[in-house]
């Protein structure tokens, strides 16, 4: 090999070693990305406050609740709350039926001091935007199950 050709070959090998090959590998990444998890997302922000409706009420407390793949978040009993939501298929309006199923009647006074609860986020891949006004905190505790007990 002539000296000039040897320097050209050496230069090309050095450039390839430093910069990498100029061709694109045959196994490039697909145009779309695969899902990050086998579980549909379930991440909620729950709030509670005193007032007539969600639009005019400032939340006094709020927590996060993640239910997939495991129960977590700032909710004080995330496991129980996720379990209750699973039992009602994510239908927040059906949480009141859990108190009836479990028995053990609990009675509340009829004083009217409205409490508003909200749930916003995603439950098993479906968008959630729920708000409900209970007559008072006792009714919220009974009919809101442990989901809104914070």
Q: Judge whether residue 25 has pLDDT over 60.
A: no
Q: How far is CA 3 from CA 7, 9, 100, in A?
A: 6, 10, 93
Pairwise CA distance, residues 113 & 77, whole Å? 25
Q: What is the CATH number of domain 43-143?
A: 3.30.350.10
Q: Find tokens 């490039």 and name the residue.
A: 28
Q: What is the pLDDT of residue 35?
A: 53
Kindly report the pTM of this predicted structure.
0.71
Alpha helices in 93-133 (DSSP H): 96-102
User: How many other C-beta atoms can be found within 10 angstroms of the C-beta atom of residue 67?
Assistant: 26
Distance (Å) of CA 42 to CA 16, 47, 50, 80: 47, 16, 26, 15
Q: How confident is the model over 42-74, as pLDDT tens digits?
A: 999 999 999 999 999 999 999 999 998 899 999
Report the C-alpha gap between 44 and 93 in whole angstroms: 16
Best CA proximity match to 112, nearest among 89, 138, 94, 77:
138
How many angstroms separate the CA atoms of 34 and 12, rounded?
37
pLDDT of residue 36: 57
- Tens digits of per-residue pLDDT, 105-142? 678 999 999 999 999 999 999 999 999 999 999 999 98
Per-residue model confidence (pLDDT) at position 17: 39
Residue 41's pLDDT is 87
Contacts (Cβ under 8 Å, ≥6 apart) of 106: 99, 138, 142
The chain-wide mean pLDDT, for the chain, equals 80
């Amino acid at each position: 090999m002539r000296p000039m050709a040897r320097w050209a070959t050496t230069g090309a090998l050095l450039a390839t070693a430093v910069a990498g090959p100029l061709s694109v590998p045959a196994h490039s990444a697909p145009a779309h990305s695969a899902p990050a998890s086998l579980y549909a997302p379930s991440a909620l922000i729950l709030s509670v406050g005193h007032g007539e409706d969600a639009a005019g009420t400032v939340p006094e407390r709020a927590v996060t609740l993640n239910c997939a793949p495991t129960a977590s978040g700032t909710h004080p009993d995330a496991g129980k709350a996720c379990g209750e939501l699973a039992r009602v298929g994510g239908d927040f309006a059906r949480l009141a039926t859990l108190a009836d199923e479990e028995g053990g009647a609990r009675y509340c006074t009829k004083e009217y001091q409205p409490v508003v609860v909200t749930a916003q986020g995603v439950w098993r891949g479906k968008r959630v935007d729920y708000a409900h006004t209970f007559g008072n905190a006792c009714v919220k505790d009974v009919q809101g199950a442990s989901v809104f007990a914070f």
